[in-house]
Amino acid sequence: MHRTRALAAAALLALAAAVPATAAPAAALPVPPSDTPTASGTAPEDAAGDRTPARRLFLTVSGAENTWIRGVVLRCAPRPTGPHPEAAEACAELEAVDGDLDRLPGDARPCTKQYDPVTVSATGAWHGHPTAWHRTFANACELTATTGPVFRF
């Protein structure tokens, strides 16, 4: 089961990397340029001329046994951008916990005990530090109660 999830996540990453740069903005989710500092000690410029250390995450949510999966790129620097429908709120939550997804405050709410697991992952970089995080929740309500707007897409 974990291998299937890993393969599905790898397929999404490969798909995101393979999208041509000439595609429509909503579909063009190329892998961001390297954020390794250049010889001058500064972060390289991205296509928009940004030298801010990376705060870009590829977020995925998948249903039980990968019956469905969806993902978005969330970019938080220099300002929240990307196809995430609540990018500003998600970036603010991540900034408040310095990118530590285990410390997200979430949206406190009561949830049923229904078991319909969802698995989430976040890969990329936060302030230039590599991030690879994943967790399975008993249902979508518990996901939102724990992670707030970050995985609400």
Extended strands (E) in the chain: 55-62, 69-75, 118-126, 129-137
Higher pLDDT, 55 or 87: 87
CATH superfamily for 2-18+52-151 is Subtilisin inhibitor-like (3.30.350.10)
Helix (H) or strand (E) holding 6: helix 2-18
* pTM score of the predicted model: 0.65
Average pLDDT, the chain: 75
Would you kindly state where each structural domain of the chain is located, as residue ranges?
2-18+52-151
Q: CA 137 to CA 62: how far, in whole Å?
A: 11
- What is the pLDDT, as a whole number, of residue 66? 78
pLDDT in tens, 52-76: 556 789 999 999 887 899 999 999 9
- What is the pLDDT, as a whole number, of residue 82? 85
Tell whether the model's pLDDT for residue 117 goes beyond 60: yes
Higher pLDDT, 33 or 120: 120
